[in-house]
Every structure is written in structure tokens, then in C-alpha cells.
Chain A
Amino acid sequence: MIFDIQRFSTHDGAGIRTIVFFKGCPLRCTWCENPESQSGGYELAYDERKCIGCLDCLKVSQGGEIDLESGRPRLHRDRVDNPWKFTGVCPSGALTVIGREMSVGQVVREIEKDLPFFRKSRGGVTLSGGEPYAQPAFLLDLLRALAGIGVMAAVETCLNVPWPAIQASLPYVETFLADLKHADAEKLKAYSGGNLALILENLSRLEEAGASVVVRVPLVPGFNDGPSEVRDIVDLAASFRNVQAIHFLPFHTLGVGKYSLIGKEYRHCAEPMPSFDMGPYLDLARSRGLEATVGG
């Protein structure tokens, strides 16, 4: 289950890249910028502003998922058990289905379109999400297929996943873009539902396996942006021999609007990050022998 494929990205890895976003994630980070990536199933997004009142959706709705409220369609999410049936129904795109079941072949065909760009720019594919390792079998098939056409893949992962899935993928992954959101197990658990012990264990095993790892740290106000918290994260990252680089990803609120479209509530503070000097963090990371960048 994929929710988006983004071509011509110059972030999330080297060169020009195609990013494949897997749908479904074991974590529930309060600041998540892609809330539509969390659930592993189809979801309905409803943007009332785009509705032209044609009521085509009402004709498809049979379980009372949609009814009329003063002439406008109203969506009852609790009654939706098959979002997929609304695929392509809404003329104006006010009601859309998020999620697409794609075969490995379909994804590869999309990726192949940019092969010349990968070659010229030393780019490739980044498998992101959601959490790619939440769909281990599909991920492994895709990685093998990509290796078959000579495309290098990076995997962006929260590492909050069972080791065997990662282990199986090792021969096909060029770089792991691994999240390290916090060095405090309690706080990580409270804000994302993550298990720090599992994440660190996976990092150790990646170290043993000699895998190339870039640590990515979303800097989130009220969660991990205190100086001591950042220092702990950097120290933790630097303690792994195979971690070469660290990327700080400043918090933003561009994804907040998406919450209401899929019937969720945004619970983290809605203030964008005050612009502040990243210099000390970069210096800190560099003093620990890491390449450090903002974004990446």
C-alpha cells in the first residue's frame, strides 16, 4: 500500500531521487507531518471547500456513510467500512481515497522513468513512509527488483520494527536514513509510542552489519529541542561507529491542514518553529565527528 510517489526530489538522499511513500506506520508521533501515512489501510479525505454539490458521492454511498445536511454532503467516518469504493467518484476531487495498492512491477515502472536522472546525478530511490518495514515482504520484493535494474535504494525508517525484516533487506539497501527522535525512552514513548530499546538494538545490529546509516532528527518544539536533549541525541548517534552523518529536520506545520481532511485532530502545538540559530547544534555534531546538515 503506497500513498504517494514523488519524482525529482533532491532531498532524502543523494542526487535526484524518486521517493516512494509507504502507507502505514507503527508510530503515532504527535507532530507527524503526513498523518495520512499512519494508517495502513485506505482512507477518505474530504475537502469541503472543493465540493460543488453534485451529490455523485451520495449515489455510491449505501451504508449511510454520506448523508445530506442542508443540501451539502456530510461524511460519517464511523460508518465507512470500505473507503475504496469512493475511488474516482467525486468529479471535483473534494472526496478522495488515500492509498493505492500497487504491484512491485507498477512501482518499478514509475521509478524507471527517471533512470537517466539517477545515473547522471548519482541519485536513486528512497523508500519512505509511513514505515517501509511495516510491509516487509513487499519492501523486500521491491528492493530486489530495484537491485535487478541497478537502482540504489535508501530506506527511511523509524527503526521501531522487528530486526529480521531489516536483516533480510541488508544486501539491497545503500543507506539507512534512520530516525533518532529522542534519547529518553519515556519521552519517546509518550510522544510517539516508540520503543527506544528496540530502536537502539536495531542500530547496534546495523553497526555490527557495517551498514551505512544517516541519523535524522526532527527538531520538535516542546519535545526534543532543549539543548541537553539535542546533545544527548547527538552523543547517542555518535556512539555508533557506522553513523557518518546527522540531519536536523526543523519542525514545520505544513501538514496540519491534512489532519482535518482525514478526520483527525492535530494534537501537537501548532506554532511553527521559531527561527533560531542551528549553528551550535551543527557545531556540536561536528565536534563529535559527524557530518551535520540542516535538512538533507
Chain B
Amino acid sequence: MKKILLRYRFGLILLGLGSLVAVGGLDSCKVSEKASMKTGAQLWAENCQRCHNTPSPSTFSHEQWETIGMHMQSRALITDAERDKIVAFLSQ
């Protein structure tokens, strides 16, 4: 048993961290007011540039931004609320 635990120690650590994440996710209602009150412009500036330059709103139409928003959400793993606010800002 000890040997197995030792062999898979990193996997178990990952599993433990995953469980913490899952518990944290269930308690997502505890997002702070500061975080939930962020505007689309603020979220656009903070999240897009984590990987690339901040995109110009004039690049695409609203329909295109909706599609790109879904694509980018699956890469940057932003929340649904963040995606919707960023898309709304880019669609203006």
C-alpha cells in the first residue's frame, strides 16, 4: 500500500487539488463584490492580454464575437459571466 501511495504521490496530490477546486466551484456564490462588479472593458483588459494583445472591438461583428467568445472561453477558461461581459463590450 505504501509503495502504491509513493508511486502515485503526484497523482494523488493532483486529485486532492482537483477536489479542492471542485469544492470551491460549488461555493462559487462567494465571489467577492469587487470581482463580480467588474465591467466588460475591465475584464477584456485583464483576461485577453494574459495570452495575447487585447483585441480591437472593431475587428468583428456581434455575431462573430459571440462565436469567438465561446472559442476563447474554452482556451482561457474564464467564467460564463466574464465571457458574456467581454463579448458585450466588444460588440459595442
**Physical interaction between A and B:** no
